[in-house]
Amino acid sequence: SKRLGRAPAIVSSSEYGHSANMERIMRAQAFTHGSNDAMMRAMRIVEINPRHPFVHKLLDACPKEDDDVVTDDTKDAAMMLYDMALLSGGFPIADSAGYSERMTRVLKTMLDVDSLSLDDEVDPPEEEDEPDEPDLEGMDGINMDDFNLDDLNLDEDDI
């Protein structure tokens, strides 16, 4: 497909089906009217770039025999490739909780984090509630003689 370019995969819609944008618009209208979500879904086509290095690595990680076990890392990589394809095609990720869990595992591995337990709560030092007094030294303050109260119009009718 010409749409793939350098991407490892992309999810596109069929030639005569709804586009990702049209699905988004119809879904927004359906939720306001309470319609069925399945009727609005576009026919999705997963296009995989067989020349991309991610696809080669994923294929190498797949079991060679039917009775071999697929590792969790391989499953995560396949699902992340699908999630990337959905986003590249303009479609939303359906399982946001699963996506978040996969990204947490990836970050944990990349950043070499042993445990996801939180550190103890930090107690910031307490500050005084009262502001500091302004430094008025060098300032003569307000001189009421500078104001001419006769120039002020204090009539209620004019306000």
CB 47 within 8 A of CB 5: no
Place of tokens 């502001």: 131
CA atoms within 13 A of residue 131's CA, in its CB half-sphere: 3
* DSSP element (H, E) containing 27: helix 20-33
Confidence of residue 96 (pLDDT cuts 50, 70, 90): confident
Indicate if the pLDDT at residue 79 is higher than 60: yes
Q: Which amino acid is at 6?
A: R
- C-alpha 76/C-alpha 98 separation (Å) is 10
CB atoms within 10 A of CB 72: 10
Mean of per-residue pLDDT scores for the chain: 78
Handedness of CA 143, 145, 146, 149 (dihedral sign): positive
What integer is the mean pLDDT of 148-158?
Answer: 70
Q: Which two tokens stand for residue 47?
A: 């296009």
**Sorting pLDDT into bands at 50, 70 and 90, what band is 35?**
low
**CB-based contacts of 144: which residues, under 8 Å, 6+ apart?**
none
pLDDT at residue 30 tops 60:
no
- 112 CA to centre of own chain: 23
What does the pLDDT read at residue 139? 61
pLDDT band at residue 158 under the 50/70/90 scheme: low
